Amino acid sequence: MASPSTPPCAACKFLRRKCLPECVFAAYFPPDQPQRFASVHKIFGAGNVAKLLNELRPNQRQDCVASLAYEADMRLRDPIYGCVGVISVLQHRLRQLRIDLSCAKSELSKYQSITISGAAHGSLAANHL
Amino acid sequence: MASPSTPPCAACKFLRRKCLPECVFAAYFPPDQPQRFASVHKIFGAGNVAKLLNELRPNQRQDCVASLAYEADMRLRDPIYGCVGVISVLQHRLRQLRIDLSCAKSELSKYQSITISGAAHGSLAANHL
C-alpha cells in the first residue's frame, strides 16, 4: 500500500500505474523484489493473478503468491515442462527409493528368518542335552 | 486447423474466433476437449499460452500443453498451492522413504556384521581343531 512516503509496489511499478491503498498486489510484491512480479506476470498475467488473490482470504494470499512465483520461475527455466518437470523427477526418485527399500526389506527378512530358525535350532539342540 | 468440414479447435470456439489454418492452438486443443482449453485459459490466459507455444519447436508443444493443462487443473483444484502442493507432498514422502531406507540399511548392516563376525569366529574355532 503506497503513501506519499512509500514507493509503489513492484506490480504497480511494472504496470506503470498508481499504487492505491487497496492494491491487492502491494502486500505480496514489495518494491525491492521487481523480478518476482515480472515473472508471475509473464506466465500468468497480472489480471489472472489479481483474480486468484481476490478469490482467497487475506491469510491465504502469501502462500498463493509464493507458489505462483515458484511455478513462474520453473516455467521460465523450463518452458516445456515447468514445475511438472520437477514432479516427474521427484516421482522417478520415489519409485527408485521404493525399489531400494523393498530390496533392503527383503534382504533383512532373510537375515531375520535365518536368526529365528537358528535360535529355534539352538533351542531344539538344548532340549536334547 | 479448420477446414470447411472440420469444426474449430476448442480454443477458437472458446474465444469465439475463426480457426485459421495457422492456428497455434488447433493441434493441441481438439474440439472434443473444451475443458482443457478453458482451464489453461483461466489460469495462464490464451495470449501467454500462444506466446509460450510460439517460442517452442513444434515437436515440443504437445508436452508443453500437457504440462500447462496439468498445472492449470491443479491450480483450479487447489487455488493456494496448485501443483506446488503436489511437489511438497512428494518431497515429504521422499524424506520419509529416505529415513525408512536408512533405518533398514542400518539394521541390515548389524545383521551383516553379526554374520561376518560369526563366520570369523567359526573359522578361528576350526583352526583350533
ipTM given for this complex: 0.83
Cα gap A106→A113, rounded to integer Å: 11
Measured between CA atoms, how close is B94 to chain A, in angstroms?
6
**What parts of chain A have a pLDDT lower than 50?**
1-2, 129
pLDDT tens for each residue of A59-89:
999 999 999 999 999 999 999 999 999 999 9
Cα gap B110→B88, rounded to integer Å: 33
Residue of A61, A67, A68, A92 to mutate for B, most B C-beta atoms under 10 A? A67
- What pLDDT is stored for residue A126 in this prediction? 53
Measured between CA atoms, how close is B90 to chain A, in angstroms?
7
Cα gap A60→A72, rounded to integer Å: 18
Residue appearing with cell numbers 474449430: B8
Residues of A with CB under 8 A from a CB of B: 42-45, 47-48, 52, 55-56, 60, 63-64, 66-68, 70-71, 75, 79-87, 90-91, 93-94, 97-98, 100-101, 104-105, 107-108, 111-112, 115
- Kindly report the pTM of this predicted structure: 0.84
Q: Which residues of B touch A81 (CB under 8 A)?
A: 63-64, 67
Residues 6+ apart with CB under 8 A from A2: A8, A9, A12, A18, A19, A20, A21, A23, A26
CB-based contact B71 A82, cutoff 8 Å: yes
Percent of chain B with pLDDT over 90: 78
Dump strand ranges (E) for chain B: none
Residues 6+ apart with CB under 8 A from B79: A52, A55, A56, A64
CA atoms within 13 A on the CB side of B45: 16
- What pLDDT is stored for residue A4 in this prediction? 54
Alpha-carbon dihedral A19, A23, A25, A29, rounded to 10 degrees? 40
Considering only the beta carbons, identify the residue of B56, B80, B86 that sits closest to A79: B56
Q: What is the pLDDT confidence band of residue B31, given thresholds at 50, 70 and 90?
A: very high
What is the CB neighbour count within 10 angstroms for residue A116?
10
**CB of B81 closer than 8 Å to CB of A65:** no
Which segments of A79-128 does DSSP mark as H helices, in order? 82-127
